[in-house]
Copies of this chain bind each other. A is one copy, B any other.
């Protein structure tokens, strides 16, 4: 292969899936001269699995991405077919938005954003090799021999690295949905000494809507209230399409049990580890074999297609068994299968090889993000992509790194979990992974992250000004309500009675009245009207901040403690072998993870409080030693 010099960039992003698009857009948006390389331009931001964005924890990530100036929220706002707020009856920490995507429109819109982004070039090309000089990456080589040089490189190759599709007893080399896999780059990463693991994930069949008997299913409409992920969205899609709910039954489960010997997962043909929280139907039936039925959601793949995604039926059973499964589900008895479900196995990086910036420890200026880091899910990929893009651009410009902590964002939790704990199965975000989940709400993502985004150049002055106005309006109104005492006059008592509350004995602070379960902002404001008009999201914010004040306070105190631990930095040149008293496992793990702070060290599984004490003492002494020398 003849090679040739094809250009110099600040940042090169390999891949344009959900991680790659965010990385490339962010880097370019920050002023870095950026090149995105992808195997197939027609597949930018392709959703190989469920046509939806958001949901528990993931929906909060989308809001965080948006607050940081990312694209996912904006694009799904323009291209969804349905949007719903989940868990509206529950506490604010678990509420989340979920949208069904028009899959093709989503891809098209994301592609258009990339094409229109200044500083960004998008090129269809297969990267085969990284150029490494002195343990630093300096560029990439593509299949046609093009050499692109760059200050930093971000790899976001998803499930393509040595991808293999498996269905029944068939296994063949392939990327998702019969795309070209990426084999040489996987070899190259292995040759460079990276530890790769074999993971797998799966997808269910798609059926033709015209062949579904919807009368046997339950309708799942979108919300009537207009909703959006992005702070910038002002136009809402009103015309929504419903999804439909049905169930597997005894017959389904019996078919699976009878055919388990044909399942590549149980025959031993699939070696990769699958995602615990997106199990295949055969997994569900085996693991929860007392459950008489499982939910099956029928989700349209777009406005302009009859393809319907059969959520809940992910499987790699042979095609004829898949047909029988469909036949056993109410409403799908005659459903025509347009695509069969399949599993895909692929190479992933062991993520403890990364710094919290997503830079690899082994090769300087090389970042990895997305499914390649052992996660699963579009939002998890996008969140990492954004952070890797930010750090790659800042490194290229000689600026400091940006790391979100576990108390800043779900994205912080995600990345910290990956680089600190690693993962031995495809990692998915769950609200239970966040210890400060009352702080990491979807409604306050903008409040948490917009200042940072503005500071690093990802949010415009105009948007930041609008944001600041919102923040001030919240502050002002909170201060006003905190300072007003509501008297127990007739009007007040009457209003309280009307919502079934108990009458006031005495004057009460407006915020304290608002804290009562039966009260909400609008009711309180009837008694003490604000002089300025407040939007719904501002009112919601005030309500949440007042009603959950106690819990939020407590969380913030915990965060303070965490911050202190995080401020106890571990010097880079620490020699764990020189610290006597550390347990062997702790020593090994510390050497692998190379935590940057005592806080991070304490989260490593296998590192116990006793080890942390020894480490603390050692570092204190070390500091003394340093100072005295």
Are B115 and A42 in touch, CB under 8 angstroms?
Answer: no
Q: How far, in whole Å, are A262 and B6 apart by their CA atoms in the complex? A: 17
Are A180 and B174 in touch, CB under 8 angstroms?
Answer: yes
From residue A238, how far is it (CB to closest CB) to chain B in Å? Answer: 21
Most buried by B among A42, A172, A209: A42
Are A145 and B174 in touch, CB under 8 angstroms?
Answer: no
Question: Which residues from B are CB-within-8-Å of A169?
Answer: 1-2, 145
Question: Which residues from B are CB-within-8-Å of A209?
Answer: 115
Tell me the chain A residues, 159-173 only, with Cβ under 8 Å from chain B: 167-170, 172
Q: How far, in whole Å, are A320 and B41 apart by their CA atoms in the complex? A: 19
Are B145 and A318 in touch, CB under 8 angstroms?
Answer: yes
Question: Which residues from B are CB-within-8-Å of A112?
Answer: 304-306
Which one, B40, B126, B340, contacts A177 given CB within 8 A?
B40
Question: Which residues from B are CB-within-8-Å of A5?
Answer: 320
Q: How far, in whole Å, are A319 and B124 apart by their CA atoms in the complex? A: 11
Question: Which residues from B are CB-within-8-Å of A614?
Answer: none
Q: Within 8 Å of chain B (Cβ to Cβ): is A269?
A: no
Question: Which residues from B are CB-within-8-Å of A177?
Answer: 40, 42
Are A306 and B40 in touch, CB under 8 angstroms?
Answer: no
Are B109 and A4 in touch, CB under 8 angstroms?
Answer: no
From residue A170, how far is it (CB to closest CB) to chain B in Å? Answer: 5
Q: How far, in whole Å, are A111 and B41 apart by their CA atoms in the complex? A: 20
Q: Within 8 Å of chain B (Cβ to Cβ): is A210?
A: yes
Are A304 and B108 in touch, CB under 8 angstroms?
Answer: yes
- Chain A, interface size category, equals 35 or more
Are B170 and A145 in touch, CB under 8 angstroms?
Answer: yes
Q: Within 8 Å of chain B (Cβ to Cβ): is A123?
A: yes
CB closest residue in chain B, given A323: B6
Query: Which secondary structure characterizes the binding site on chain A?
Result: mixed
Question: Which residues from B are CB-within-8-Å of A605?
Answer: none
Mask, A100-142, CB within 8 Å of B = 1, is: 0000100011011001100001111110000000000000000
Q: Within 8 Å of chain B (Cβ to Cβ): is A178?
A: yes
CB closest residue in chain B, given A174: B180
Question: Which residues from B are CB-within-8-Å of A180?
Answer: 174, 178, 180
CB closest residue in chain B, given A35: B336
Q: Within 8 Å of chain B (Cβ to Cβ): is A338?
A: yes
Q: Within 8 Å of chain B (Cβ to Cβ): is A621?
A: no
Are B144 and A318 in touch, CB under 8 angstroms?
Answer: yes
Tell me the chain A residues, 24-61 only, with Cβ under 8 Å from chain B: 39-43
From residue A209, how far is it (CB to closest CB) to chain B in Å? Answer: 8
From residue A27, how far is it (CB to closest CB) to chain B in Å? Answer: 17
Q: How far, in whole Å, are A144 and B321 apart by their CA atoms in the complex? A: 12
Are A124 and B339 in touch, CB under 8 angstroms?
Answer: yes
Q: Within 8 Å of chain B (Cβ to Cβ): is A337?
A: yes
Q: Within 8 Å of chain B (Cβ to Cβ): is A416?
A: no
Q: How far, in whole Å, are A460 and B485 apart by their CA atoms in the complex? A: 78
Q: Within 8 Å of chain B (Cβ to Cβ): is A143?
A: yes
Are B115 and A143 in touch, CB under 8 angstroms?
Answer: no
Q: Within 8 Å of chain B (Cβ to Cβ): is A502?
A: no
With A145-B170, A178-B180 as given contacts, are A115 and B306 in contact (CB-CB < 8 Å)? yes
Q: How far, in whole Å, are A376 and B361 apart by their CA atoms in the complex? A: 52
Are B146 and A307 in touch, CB under 8 angstroms?
Answer: no
CB closest residue in chain B, given A342: B144
Q: How far, in whole Å, are A112 and B305 apart by their CA atoms in the complex? A: 5
Mask, A200-221, CB within 8 Å of B = 1, is: 0000000011100000000000
With A1-B169, A178-B39 as given contacts, are A104 and B108 in contact (CB-CB < 8 Å)? yes
CB closest residue in chain B, given A172: B143
Q: How far, in whole Å, are A567 and B146 apart by their CA atoms in the complex? A: 61
Q: How far, in whole Å, are A407 and B477 apart by their CA atoms in the complex? A: 83
Are B123 and A145 in touch, CB under 8 angstroms?
Answer: no
Are A319 and B42 in touch, CB under 8 angstroms?
Answer: no
Q: Within 8 Å of chain B (Cβ to Cβ): is A179?
A: yes
Most buried by B among A4, A112, A172, A178: A178
From residue A8, how far is it (CB to closest CB) to chain B in Å? Answer: 14
CB closest residue in chain B, given A322: B144
Which one, B42, B144, B179, contacts A167 given CB within 8 A?
B144
Mask, A357-373, CB within 8 Å of B = 1, is: 00000000000000000
Most buried by B among A104, A146, A319: A319
Q: What are 6 A-B contacts defined by CB distance under 8 Å?
A: A2-B318, A41-B338, A42-B43, A116-B306, A144-B319, A180-B180
In the A-B complex, the 5 residue pairs with the smallest Cβ-Cβ separation, listed nearest first, are: A115-B306, A4-B320, A124-B339, A144-B319, A178-B180
